Amino acid sequence: MDAVERQVEAYNAGDVDAFVACYANDVVFEDADGAAQTGGRDEMRKRYGELFASAPNLHAEITSRIRVGSYVVDEERVSGLPNGEIHAVAIYKLDDEGLIERVRFLP
């Protein structure tokens, strides 16, 4: 199981430590246009720790996955969010150690 699969399992379990461990220390999250939104494990731990605490029924369902080299593209449906369900695409880039170094979200 790679870091992308492990982070989905940790996300669905609300396990912030296991979730953050799937990412490189200097991970960058980008919006659809490539603008950095957040970066690094510390910021990630705070942001997702708050999300997991406020949304105990959070669940991501991967409806399709494509792997090409060091890239993984997931189409997902996320439920249990305070503002309802979302349908999105996440593009993950894995580093040489197999950790997620960059994520771009498409709404």
Q: Is 7 left (phi over 0), alpha (psi -120 to 50) or beta?
A: alpha
With pLDDT > 90 as the criterion, what percentage of the chain qualifies?
89
> What's the chain's length in residues?
107
DSSP state of 57: T
Token match 């494509």: residue?
A: 66
Reported as a single tens digit per residue, the pLDDT across 86-101 is: 999 999 999 999 999 9
Residue 74 domain boundaries: 3-106
Gap between the Cα atoms of 63 and 38, Å rounded? 25
Token match 């997620």: residue?
A: 100
DSSP state of 97: T
* Tokens read off for 81: 């969010």
The enclosing domain of 68 has a CATH number of 3.10.450.50
| β pairing state of 100-106 and 23-30 | parallel
Q: How many domains does the chain have?
A: 1
Confidence of residue 5 (pLDDT cuts 50, 70, 90): very high
